[in-house]
Amino acid sequence: MIADGYLPSMIEAVLFDLDNLMVDSEPLHLEASRRLFARYGKDVDTLPDSITSNFYGMRVVDAIAIMVDFFGLGGSVDISELNREQEIIFLDLIRDGLRPMAGLYDVVKIVERLGLRRAVASSGTMAYVAIVIDELGLKSFFDAVVTGDMVRRGKPAPDIFLKTAEVLGIAPERCLVLEDAANGVKAAKAAGMKCIAVANTVGGHVQDLSMADRVVKSLEEIDEKMLKLVL
């Protein structure tokens, strides 16, 4: 942790995570998983915290693979097909159930006013992320959108953030990541980027965000003065 929250690098771009950072999506992800695994007679609510606490920031396909293994379904299902089925359920749920996180639009205005490049770097699929950005009215705000289905490895591997920096044409060390999950913070730091983490308590789980350069309680705490410190 840097003293007094100062991040003394020249930052040119802000990379936004999506789930539980921009939108309150976790309840919908959980409901989609409930409906999917109920088809196979499995109850995802029986998953132990030691497993579910690792899902945050993870690609859905990777979480599904873990659940399949836990429920002993490995020989009877296809992971990619389950992922497709869950996405169909999830996309149907989000059309009526997505809510922007408090402070999102204020941060968007600050980043725009400071003239920083901006991108979404989400573990979600492009089909999902495109719908969310459109629903939020932020389609024209972002210079790039990079999603979990565009990289080989999901968070906590750094692939998605490195890919986003590449698309923007900006060195990783010139990027600031806004994240809410431990897996995302680990990925940002592994990519050599600065990271401000939002300490959302999702599903009752407290994420270990200690690797972040600064931790705030919500996006509402991020103001122009804070971001100017990284310029």
pLDDT at 9: 52
Percent of the chain surpassing pLDDT 70? 93
pLDDT at 6: 43
User: What span, in angstroms and rounded, lies between the C-alpha atoms of 173 and 153?
Assistant: 20
pLDDT at 8: 47
Taking 60 as the threshold, does the pLDDT of residue 164 lie above it? yes
User: What span, in angstroms and rounded, lies between the C-alpha atoms of 146 and 171?
Assistant: 16
Sign of CA dihedral 53, 182, 190, 156: positive
pLDDT confidence tier of residue 2, bands split at 50, 70 and 90: very low
> How many C-alpha atoms does 133 have within 13 Å on its Cβ side?
26
Taking 90 as the threshold, does the pLDDT of residue 4 lie above it? no
pLDDT at 56: 83
As to burial, measured by CB atoms within 10 angstroms (0-12 exposed, 13-18 middle, 19+ buried), residue 15 is: buried
Output the average pLDDT for the chain: 90
Taking 60 as the threshold, does the pLDDT of residue 142 lie above it? yes
Taking 50 as the threshold, does the pLDDT of residue 19 lie above it? yes
pLDDT in tens, 70-120: 999 988 899 999 999 999 999 888 877 788 999 999 999 999 999 999 999
pLDDT confidence tier of residue 57, bands split at 50, 70 and 90: confident
The secondary structure of residue 23, as a DSSP letter, is B
Taking 50 as the threshold, does the pLDDT of residue 26 lie above it? yes
Q: Which residues pair with 177 in a beta bridge?
A: 15, 195
pLDDT at 230: 62
Measuring CA to CA, how many Å separate 106 from each of 21, 55, 223? 13, 28, 8
- Is there a contact between 163 and 143 (Cβ–Cβ < 8 Å)? no
pLDDT in tens, 185-213: 999 999 999 999 999 766 566 788 999 99
E strands present in the chain? 13-16, 117-122, 144-147, 175-179, 194-198, 214-216
pLDDT at 47: 94
User: What would the mean pLDDT of 9-37 be, rounded to a whole number?
Assistant: 92
User: What would the mean pLDDT of 169-184 be, rounded to a whole number?
Assistant: 95
Q: Kindly give the interhelix angle for 60-70 and 26-38, rounded to the nearest 10 degrees.
A: 40
The 8 Å CB, 24+ separation contacts for 211-215 are: 211/182, 211/185, 211/186, 212/1, 212/179, 212/185, 212/188, 213/1, 213/2, 213/5, 213/7, 214/1, 214/2, 214/5, 214/7
Instruction: Give me the residue label for tokens 């690792």.
Output: 54
| pTM (two decimals) | 0.84
